[in-house]
Structure 1
Amino acid sequence: MTNGLVIEQDAEFPIDNYHLKVRSYLGQLTAGIHYFEVNFEVNLESTDPSPTTGNLALLRVGSSDGGL
């Protein structure tokens, strides 16, 4: 058994220089792809020249065969 990330409402996790917080699960609109509404912030320690805070985004999660 492998340890994996559980994506659910109010879950928080980093992806590269971004910190994401899941607001809601939007559903599975395409086979193998799940959609989530998230807020993201740029990690303040990143080298990104244009830091942003509290942005709303769409997170798509799925298998490599899921049409991503």
Structure 2
Amino acid sequence: MTISTSAALAVIILIRLNRRTEARSRADERLMAFLCIVLGVLIAASPWGRTILRLVGVVTQATL
């Protein structure tokens, strides 16, 4: 069984977001920001990411 890197990273982010916010350090916040950026880059390069980009483009054109 294989799992994509994007799916694994999304699961890690969801698990880390469910932690209590009071216990987060500055380094922990930086790590979360880095993980979210990496997930965004991985998703953007996929066909699913291009579909999301097109959808956001349609929505922004409709609101102008």
The bucket for the TM-score relative to the shorter chain is under 0.3
Which structure's residues are more often strand, by fraction? Answer: 1
Compute the TM-score of the two structures, normalised by the length of structure 2: 0.24
Larger radius of gyration: 2
TM-score (norm 1): 0.23
Q: Which has the higher helix share?
A: 2
